[in-house]
């Protein structure tokens, strides 16, 4: 049994992670400010003797005596992180600083939820971890993209300067039950629109591609990443090396829309709107590093994952 802190533990990915960690016999402290996280996501865990919920904002420093920390706390969808860009940058940088200080203080290993957004609108496909990215430092998405890049730089600096064991995961699009119905992202938008019989909105031509990882696959990879020894994780480099986690299967936005229509049996029509500023045209992870070091690859196909996700939306919207 390990003592594990999950920041953002009441969020979409965090709640699945808490569930898995509890099921594996660990003691879990879940911190969340419940801005985009929700109490109902972890309600079924609240009575459990090895689970604790702290309402806490990572912009305030914290120290918890644990063995592992999963630092997921940060709004992750444009509609949320653009609501208050100043606060988003603070959460990315100061929040991660506090997680790093806690890890250093108690000697914990630290998983950091970075993002494929550090690659921006990439000029290289697929993206592997050595790609430096293509980000607009003053664009509408900069508060998140640059905040996360800076958080990575900070994490690597803590690893090199103080020997903190950090595992930086660049998480690509993830979907599954408990997604926000109003997070403005493709899967949730399409599912909600289809279930409500409203028109399905595509931005741009719909030919831009994304790759979607089912949340269970992502959580499995995160846990394996944290189980890696320091030698294996750093892979012969000083400090920490980021690792892409995602599903490399590329699909167009339009394909998703069609699949959602099929699964829901909806007759919603497709409507097209202009592309928002700095929206990436393509993004697909090279997961060679994760496959090699974690002996991992995604198992849940898009059709199955979407069916489960839509079932969850149906229950919640019903």
Contacting positions for a second copy (CB under 8 A): 84-86, 88-90, 93-94, 97, 118, 120, 132-138, 142-143, 145-147, 149-150, 152-154, 156-158, 160-162, 168, 239-242
What amino acid positions are annotated as catalytic residues?
144
CB of 135 to a second copy, least distance (A): 6
CB of 6 to a second copy, least distance (A): 24
Question: What are the structure tokens assigned to 219, written together?
Answer: 């959580």
Nearer to a second copy, 150 or 228 (CB): 150
**Token pair 């289809």 is at which residue?**
194
Beta strands (DSSP E) in 172-260 are: 174-175, 200-203, 209-211, 213-214, 243-245, 250-252
CB of 104 to a second copy, least distance (A): 10
CA distance 280 to 117: 9
Nearer to a second copy, 6 or 159 (CB): 159
Using alpha carbons only, give the angle 36, 38, 44 rounded to the nearest 5 degrees. Answer: 155
What contacts 111, CB < 8 A, 6 or more positions away? 68, 69, 70, 71, 166, 167, 169, 222, 225, 226
Nearer to a second copy, 1 or 238 (CB): 238
In what side-by-side order are the strands of the sheet with 51-55? 51-55, 27-32, 3-7, 68-71, 109-115, 166-171, 243-245
201 conformational bin, left if phi > 0, alpha if psi -120 to 50, beta if neither: beta
Nearer to a second copy, 27 or 57 (CB): 57
CB of 178 to a second copy, least distance (A): 29
C-alpha of 56 from chain center: 19
CB of 94 to a second copy, least distance (A): 8
Question: What are the structure tokens assigned to 224, written together?
Answer: 């394996």
C-alpha of 234 from chain center: 21
Nearer to a second copy, 89 or 113 (CB): 89
């Amino acid at each position: 049994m390990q003592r594990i802190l999950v920041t953002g533990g009441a969020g979409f990915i965090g709640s699945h992670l808490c569930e898995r960690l509890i099921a594996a016999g660990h003691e879990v402290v879940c911190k969340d400010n419940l801005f985009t996280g929700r109490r109902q996501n972890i309600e079924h865990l609240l009575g459990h003797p090895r689970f604790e919920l702290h309402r806490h904002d990572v912009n305030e420093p914290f120290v918890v005596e644990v063995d592992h920390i999963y630092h997921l706390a940060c709004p992750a969808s444009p509609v949320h992180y653009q609501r208050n860009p100043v606060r988003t940058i603070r959460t990315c940088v100061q929040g991660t600083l506090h997680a790093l200080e806690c890890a250093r203080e108690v000697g914990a290993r630290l998983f950091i939820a970075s993002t494929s957004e550090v690659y921006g609108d990439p000029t290289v496909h697929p993206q592997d971890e050595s790609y430096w990215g293509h980000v607009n430092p003053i664009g509408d998405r900069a508060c998140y993209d640059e905040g996360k890049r800076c958080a990575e730089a900070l994490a690597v600096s803590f690893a090199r300067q103080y020997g903190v064991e950090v595992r930086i995961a660049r998480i690509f699009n993830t979907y599954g039950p408990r997604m926000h119905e109003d997070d403005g992202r493709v899967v949730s938008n399409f599912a909600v629109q289809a279930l409500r019989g409203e028109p399905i909105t595509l931005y741009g031509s719909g030919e831009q591609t994304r790759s979607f990882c089912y949340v269970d696959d992502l959580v499995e990879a995160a846990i394996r990443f944290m189980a890696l020894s320091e030698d294996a994780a750093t892979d012969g480099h000083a400090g920490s090396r980021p690792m892409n986690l995602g599903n490399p299967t590329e699909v167009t936005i339009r394909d998703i829309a069609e699949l959602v229509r099929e699964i829901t049996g909806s007759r919603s029509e497709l409507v097209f709107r202009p592309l928002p500023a700095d929206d990436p045209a393509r993004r697909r992870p090279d997961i060679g590093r994760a496959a090699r070091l974690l002996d991992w690859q995604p198992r849940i196909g898009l059709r199955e994952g979407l069916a489960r996700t839509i079932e969850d939306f149906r229950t919640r919207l019903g």
